[in-house]
Chains A and B, each alone.
Chain A
Amino acid sequence: MTNAALTPDPHAWLKARGRWSPFEIAFWAATLLPFFFFPSYLPLASQIAIAALFAISVDLVLGYAGIVTLGHAMFFGIGAYAAGIISSRYGWTEPLTGLLFAGLVAGAVGFIASFLIVRVQHLALLMITLGLGLLTYELANAMSWLTGGTDGLMGIDIAPIFGVFNFDLWGRTAYAYSLAGLFVGFLLSRRIVHSSFGLALRGVRENVRRMPAIGSEHRVHLQKIYTISAALAGIAGALLTQTTETASLQTLNFERSADVVVMLILGGTGRLYGGILGAAIFMIARDQLAGINPQYWYFWIGFLLMLVVLTMPKGILGGLARLAGRRDE
């Protein structure tokens, strides 16, 4: 806490922590490279951006607020279906408002679910997040008149963005659109974690009992961040629907909830960029290894998980930060 001692004004301290470093600017400039150097990989890059946004939404609850969730795919899937249904059933094809609508729906469900989440801890928390995820999957499966069931949602049509940029075959618009979504989501999350609210969340993560003792409404904080996270996850799902013009039950299944946690752990929790890095590594590795049997792909994922937990509990970014001798956040 030497930083705080040097800068007596807490607002100035928060502001200093929230300053952009050259690495960050370089990183975001690098995300534009696929347009010029890997044009054939643009669809994959778009998938990575979506997965990264989803990972950031999970990082907000898992990495910052310490809520272990095994069912976040429910919000991803709800967003995906909301964006799909508004287009295919109601003919609303404008993408940006569709995205907003999906975020609102997922956020509303997240708000309702947050009343359950803040009540429980440990195993019960795991089981409630897992149970809600499975429940949403079964519900979507049973409500096939709305969701198309196992066939997926048909007939999604998305109008050009701003009426100009059509979703082309090479995925140029799709990547630009997903990347913009990721960037806006990232800016929002960055603002949150560098605010006093973000600090309060970290306080809850570190010691749930102490926060009420110093007069902090920890349950309200947790509900707030859970709702925001759900809305972000929903937007990520909606991006997937809009860029691929399909929505299927796979957006809701347990593998998606598990995969996103794996991405986050690989990259490192509680540091926003961890989710992005983890998503990139995970998706590229899966793309390169797609030829082999998916069962063996899971062998390596499992092996990697065990290895990361035993040797690098803070993920790749955490390991790098330790090597560079920097203090952990």
Chain B
Amino acid sequence: MISQFAIVLFDGFAFGMLLFVLSVGLSVTMGLMNFINLAHGAFGMLGGYVAVTLMRQMGMPFLAALPCAFFAAALLSIVLERTLFRRLYRAGELNQVLFTIGSVFVAAAVATYVFGTVQQVIPMPSWLRGSVEVLGLRLNVYRIFIIAVALAVTALLVFGLERTRLGAQVRAAVDNQRVAQGLGMDVERIFAVTFALGSGLAGLGGALAVEIVGLDPSFGFHYLVYVLIVVAVGGLGSVTGSFVGAALLGIGDVAGKYFMPEVGSFLIYLIMVAILFVKPLGLFGKR
């Protein structure tokens, strides 16, 4: 029983870390511009398809495909941000929601056209398959890999935000955009860079997710709900919040589905609504 519990905790944490990589970019960009970007999950989907295609068609190794997924999503996000999304920063939340959800519809249709509705399979290298025994528990190697990648991303993000010039600018702009602008910072440029990085992380998350949750054209929609829960519960613009929110959601989701399959997904939404009722700004949100 104890070991079963530990395994569920481990799987849940791994799933949570996956959600963290998928959603942390959205949390920071939403905190920056208050731009409600429901297309974030679609960048994850793009990353997944890029990784699958590169590995299957061109025989690229998994570790090389991951950065490609990151750059593909980041690149596309720069193009979209410069041409379309930036027109919507002052357009009101309803228009932002509608526009970005429209783009998710389009992305899903394009994915169906190019790849069909079948579940994509990613060929895993042999060193990531199977499981290892740690303290008497059989742990899946790939999930350990995901946790390692997510922790590395967290370390990089925290270091980047706390120790670099761009990080300081991002923090300033999240805290008070007007004052930051008044001090001569180019908030729009900071935002463009952050947006690209955040979307790239979503692409990386999408590539990592294929092995765990599969990949089909509904990915952008299905994981959008998870991503939004992480962002809303964790609080906007907070890396810590996203980390805690994602870990809670991942563990709650896996444990709920494992121990109470009847009401598992129901409980997730109930807990989210309850948290937002008590703390509308999320657990770590400042405004």
Contact = CB atoms under 8 A, between A and B. Distances in A.
Nearest to B92: A313
Given A123-B30, A295-B117, A313-B91, A132 B273 contact: yes
A310 B87 contact: yes
Interface residues of B, number: 46
A131 B106 contact: no
A123 B236 contact: yes
Interface in B190-220: 217
Interface in A298-326: 298-299, 301-306, 308-310, 313
Given A68-B97, A305-B101, A313-B91, A127 B229 contact: yes
On chain A, which size bracket covers the interface? 35 or more
A308 B99 CA distance: 9
B115 to A, nearest CB: 11
Per DSSP, chain B at the interface is: helix
Interface of B: 30, 34, 36, 84, 87-88, 91, 93-95, 97-99, 101-110, 112-113, 117, 217, 225, 228-229, 231-232, 236, 262-263, 265-266, 269-270, 272-273, 276-277, 280-282
A128 interface: yes
A265 B97 CA distance: 12
Given A127-B228, A127-B272, A130-B225, A303 B106 contact: yes
21 contacts: A62-B94, A70-B97, A123-B228, A131-B269, A132-B273, A134-B225, A134-B269, A135-B266, A142-B263, A295-B108, A295-B117, A296-B112, A301-B102, A302-B104, A302-B105, A305-B102, A306-B99, A308-B98, A309-B88, A309-B98, A313-B95
Per DSSP, chain A at the interface is: helix
Interface in A40-59: none
A306 B225 contact: no
Interface in A114-132: 116, 119-124, 126-128, 130-132
Nearest to A139: B266
A316 to B, nearest CB: 14
B99 A124 contact: no
Interface of A: 62, 68, 70, 116, 119-124, 126-128, 130-132, 134-135, 138-139, 142, 258, 261-262, 265, 269, 293, 295-296, 298-299, 301-306, 308-310, 313
A313 B84 CA distance: 15
User: Which one of B34, B104, B273, B277 has the highest number of Cβ atoms from chain A below 10 Å of its Cβ?
Assistant: B273
A269 B36 CA distance: 20
Contact of B231 (A70, A123, A135, A313): A123
Contacts of B107: 302
A269 B113 CA distance: 33
Contacts of B273: 116, 128, 131-132, 135
